[in-house]
Amino acid sequence: MTGATDIEAIVSRLNAARPPARGVRYEGPAPFGQGMTVHRFALSNGLRVLVEIDAAAPVLCLQTWMRVGSRFEKAGKTGISHLFEHLMFGETEKSAHGAFDRLLEEAGGETNAATSLDWTYYHQNLPKTALALGLRLEAERLAHLVLREPQVASEKEVVANERRQRVEDDVDGAVSELLYREAFREHAYGIPTIGLMKDILSFTPEDCTEFYRTYYAPNNATLVLVGDVDLEETLGLVADHMGALEPSEVPLEDVHPEPPQLEERRLVVDKPSPTHRVAIGYKCPALGDFDHAPLVVLNEILFGGRSSRLHRRFVKELELATEVRGWVGTGRDPSLYDISLTAREDVTNERLLEVFDEEIAKVMASSVGEEELDRAKARLELGTLQSLESVSGRAETIGFYDTVLGEPGALFTKLEAYRRVTRADVLRVARRVLSSTGRTMVLVRPSGDEEEALEEGSEQEVATA
Amino acid sequence: MKLFVEASPKLPIVSIAVAFRSGSTFDPEGKEGLCRTTARMLRRGCAGWDADALEARIDSLGGEFGADASPGATSAHAEVITRRLDPFLELCTKLLGAPTFPDEELGRLVREAKAELIEARDSDRTLAARAFRRTLFAGHPYGRRVAGTLPSLDTITRADVEAFYRRHYTKQNALVAISGDVTDKGAHEIAERVLSLLPEGEPVKDSVPEPTPPPGRQLIIVDKPERTQTQMVIGWLGTHGHDADHVAWLVGNTAFGGTFTSKLMQEVRAKRGWSYGASSRVGFERHRDAFTMWTAPSSTDAPACMQLELELLAELKAKGLTDDEVSFTKNYLERSHAFEVDTPRKRVHQPLEEALYDLPAGYHASYLERVRAVSTDEVNAALAKRTPLEDLVVAVVATNEDTGEGLGKALPGAKVRVDPFDLE
């Protein structure tokens, strides 16, 4: 185990050999569960560097987390954060299109990236021997990406196809987009991360360059390294490759908090789906809110596994649904407690909702049992530990919590918080979050059922997506 | 019983896989889905526990237990936090060795499985894959659906489940893999314990014949309304671990469609932007399984995309790969191999897979050495031999009225069939 004194000595040696502008600062260890530690560093240009050393296998994971996602986008320019997730694998001033992936593949690496509401991250799984190459290429694309017409045009077409696959021709994707759009009328969480088709197709090289210069700067990023690395060698390489990156002035975010929702919002859409389905979004506390952990526990009680309340009622006892799912949003700002119910054949949305409302009323009326609370906590503990098995799982956890909460080890703070949740906490959070006036719903009818539904004199707004 | 162990104290979790060498190919004709139903019934009741109590108990122990089937195997997987290992093992022993198969639960599971089949019609990728398999493996057990069909699930009785269980769930037919927070000695005790209620039995012989795919070009259009995008699978019968040119073909496939920068991805996505994903894959079973290429072009690009893929195949067969391409791919396979064995679970699954699928002894241990030894000539000979341009199956999910004609023209000489998307 490397101690704080050893690390200070390493940093001193590194700084003695470099100009101050390329200096490394040790910001101390952050506890990361039992027997694991994340060491925190910063470069003079503002880049945060987080390292967890694990020599169990000769591999490492290198991730770059950018503190930009679709929440920073404006009407007419939606999807630019996600487009970058693609552009960043393209041509740079020093290497041709495809060279990034080609070189890393030849070295035995694997790359990927993901974009969300609050962040974008880039991922390299590397054999330990490829660290220097991975860092060099990462620095190259952070500083010298080529964003001219052919590069942008080609990726726009790929993203348009991705949108067709994930949204236009995918019922769940299309419904999710509608749900967030309806739920968030002020806050940018209503913007679909992949972007609207017309916006995707209209991006220009100028749009991309401006975005790149503004947000892809070291002071807006965190580099995470997990695996079989030598700390001194790694920090030296990071300083050499990334120390010269120019910081930018990241503009103050023009946040528009979502005003309280005072009445239920309901959309009905027709889709070529074999069965009815319902998507429901309740406004939920932000990831850093005290009530986030109790809500995750409540979700586990309602939806976690086959012994959960809603699974038993919908799938087992009444046989109304094939699948019921709940997911508590992990946004930096209040986001959505996102629920979906998929009906069996011949079961209507109305019936799904009737039973759903009965279950929600129960959990708001009286506290959950001690035993089901304990089951939920045990499930969350297992899930947490499973996510830490691989170097990439740990890098993702460290990068995510650092980016959203500023605490790389917050997964374990969360785990502790789950353990402390009481029945009263669950009751409080159910009453706080599950109010029917604060919810948004999208009801999906199989195409062909619409005439019948309209004849019933529904007062629902009908939108065809 | 064969046991494989990979101990690692890093995380306080123990993982147990129990596999039986019997899969859905043992489903009797007309009772497709029986093997999978039997596996799923394990957690619907066992000695002293009804389904509800079982579910609650597994969760309260911080455990997971799941069982599923493939054509060649039935696998149960259990995982638990170390401090609850003992009570969890007690439960697993009964789950595997003393299931009760309650009638009421069987009825419920069958209705659940039927609803899942209907819901699966929403997944175009699944629809394309099914159309492909039922055509390539027509008349062969590999062409039947592991999950069963709506009519076949209805015929499954408790006696069928019981009989399947009695024949196949035995110590002699079982393989166990344990990884995580255990010692070697502890793992042996765990394996003995979880199988203790099973009879000795005997290994079940795999009597599946070698698949013989239909000759000629087959185009199946899975007709679904309102498709702006297609899902396209092109393929034929692939390789097997015992083939002399097995590794040569794997290297060839990796260069062609096995990585993000492979030829298929470059041509389809990078150069033309026609599909978000493009890949090829070598399937894996005890007998020869399929080789498949997958793309998802928009409806308007689909015919051109199919034509391009056929041209790429023709070029691959005729010209093969260059020394540089082969060398690149070998480097990739060799250097990325660390990720095939970077967790205890992955490490223990290699010998398990070897034994379960009757791979040559030392298949995984000698894999890198065999990759290093392959020459460009060997790769190109495998590509030339195993790329049958005139005998292939193409399955496309599309709106036939809009796209069908164009697709037909893109595959000259093909026997064309249009299947409704809700056929199964």
Residues 243-272 of B with CB under 8 A from A: 259-261, 266, 269-272
Task: Answer whether B56 sits within 8 Å of A101, measured CB to CB.
Answer: no
Whether residue A209 sits in one domain with residue A273: no
Distance CA B278, CA A299 (A): 37
Distance CA A422, CA A291 (A): 11
Q: Complex ipTM, two decimals? A: 0.82
pLDDT in tens, B337-367: 999 999 999 999 999 999 999 999 999 999 9
The share of chain B scoring above pLDDT 70, in percent, equals 100
Is residue A255 a part of any domain in this protein? Answer: no
pLDDT in tens, A175-193: 999 999 999 999 999 999 9
State yes or no: pLDDT of A460 exceeds 60: no
User: Measured between CA atoms, how close is B122 to chain A, in angstroms?
Assistant: 6
Nearest to B273 among A157, A305, A388 (CB): A157
User: Measured between CA atoms, how close is A301 to chain B, in angstroms?
Assistant: 11
Domain that includes residue A349, residue range:
265-462
Beta-strand pair B13-20/B290-297: unpaired
Whether residue A326 sits in one domain with residue A292: yes
Report pLDDT for A136: 96
pLDDT in tens, A120-173: 999 999 999 999 999 999 999 999 999 999 889 989 988 998 898 889 888 899
Nearest to B331 among A106, A154, A306 (CB): A106
Report pLDDT for A4: 79
Whether residue A350 sits in one domain with residue A214: no
Cβ of residue A149 closer than 8 Å to a chain B Cβ: no
Cβ of residue A353 closer than 8 Å to a chain B Cβ: no
Distance CA B174, CA B97 (A): 12
- Compute the average pLDDT of residues A302-316: 94
Whether residue A455 sits in one domain with residue A341: yes
Residues 96-155 of B with CB under 8 A from A: 108, 111-112, 115-116, 118-119, 121-122, 124
- Compute the average pLDDT of residues A232-240: 96
Nearest CA in chain A to B254: A105
* Exposure string over B156-188, b if 16+ CB within 10 A, otherwise e: beeebbeebbeebbbbebbbbbbbbbbeeeebe
State yes or no: pLDDT of A448 exceeds 70: no
Whether residue A284 sits in one domain with residue A227: no
State yes or no: pLDDT of A2 exceeds 80: no
pLDDT in tens, A252-273: 999 999 999 999 999 999 988 8
Distance CA B52, CA A24 (A): 57
Nearest to B60 among A128, A374, A391 (CB): A374
Is residue A248 a part of any domain in this protein? Answer: no
Task: Answer whether A275 sits within 8 Å of B116, measured CB to CB.
Answer: no
Task: Answer whether B341 sits within 8 Å of A57, measured CB to CB.
Answer: yes
Residues 47-86 of A with CB under 8 A from B: 54, 56-59
Average pLDDT value over all residues in chain B: 95
Is residue A414 a part of any domain in this protein? Answer: yes
Is residue A252 a part of any domain in this protein? Answer: no
CATH number at residue A269: 3.30.830.10
Whether residue A171 sits in one domain with residue A290: no
Task: Answer whether B79 sits within 8 Å of A386, measured CB to CB.
Answer: yes
Distance CA A62, CA A105 (A): 14
Whether residue A333 sits in one domain with residue A233: no
Nearest to A57 among B51, B225, B342 (CB): B342
Please provide the DSSP assignment of A403-430 as one string.
HHHS-TTHHHHHHHHHHH--HHHHHHHH
User: Measured between CA atoms, how close is A44 to chain B, in angstroms?
Assistant: 34
Each of the 424 residues of chain B gets a pLDDT tens digit; together they read 899 999 998 889 999 999 999 999 999 999 999 999 999 999 999 999 999 999 999 998 989 999 999 999 999 999 999 999 999 999 999 999 999 999 999 999 999 999 999 989 989 999 999 999 999 999 999 999 999 999 999 999 999 999 999 999 999 999 999 999 999 999 999 999 999 999 999 889 988 999 999 999 999 999 999 898 999 999 999 999 999 999 999 999 999 999 989 999 999 988 888 988 899 999 989 999 999 999 999 999 999 999 999 999 999 999 999 999 999 999 999 999 999 999 999 999 999 999 999 999 999 999 999 999 999 999 999 999 999 999 999 999 999 999 999 999 999 999 999 999 999 8
Domains of chain B and CATH, by start: 2-194 (3.30.830.10), 218-420 (3.30.830.10)
Task: Answer whether A378 sits within 8 Å of B422, measured CB to CB.
Answer: no
Whether residue A348 sits in one domain with residue A270: yes
| DSSP class of A123 | E
User: Measured between CA atoms, how close is A264 to chain B, in angstroms?
Assistant: 28
Is residue A114 a part of any domain in this protein? Answer: yes
User: Measured between CA atoms, how close is B61 to chain A, in angstroms?
Assistant: 7
Is residue A422 a part of any domain in this protein? Answer: yes
Nearest CA in chain A to B262: A102
Whether residue A341 sits in one domain with residue A232: no
Cβ of residue A370 closer than 8 Å to a chain B Cβ: no
Crossing angle of helices B51-60/B85-97, nearest 10°? 150
Report pLDDT for B317: 96
Residues near B226 by beta carbon (within 8 Å), at least 6 away in sequence = A272, A447, B399
Distance CA B226, CA B299 (A): 10
User: Measured between CA atoms, how close is B77 to chain A, in angstroms?
Assistant: 14
Residue A462's pLDDT band (cuts 50, 70, 90): very low
Element (H, E) at A444: strand A439-446
Nearest CA in chain B to A106: B332
User: Looking at the 3D structure of chain A, how many domains does it have?
Assistant: 2
Is residue A123 a part of any domain in this protein? Answer: yes
Whether residue A155 sits in one domain with residue A287: no
Q: Which of A242, A273, A288 is the last residue of a domain?
A: A242
Is residue A116 a part of any domain in this protein? Answer: yes
* Torsion sign (Cα): B221, B222, B226, B229: negative
Distance CA A376, CA A303 (A): 10
Nearest CA in chain B to A104: B332
Report pLDDT for A458: 36
Hunting for tokens 């298949």 — which residue is that?
B363
Residues 172-201 of A with CB under 8 A from B: none
Q: Which of A242, A257, A273 is the last residue of a domain?
A: A242
Whether residue A279 sits in one domain with residue A184: no
User: Measured between CA atoms, how close is B261 to chain A, in angstroms?
Assistant: 6
Report pLDDT for A122: 98
Task: Answer whether B342 sits within 8 Å of A390, measured CB to CB.
Answer: yes
Whether residue A282 sits in one domain with residue A224: no
- Compute the average pLDDT of residues A95-123: 94
Chain A and chain B share a number of CB contacts under 8 A equal to 172
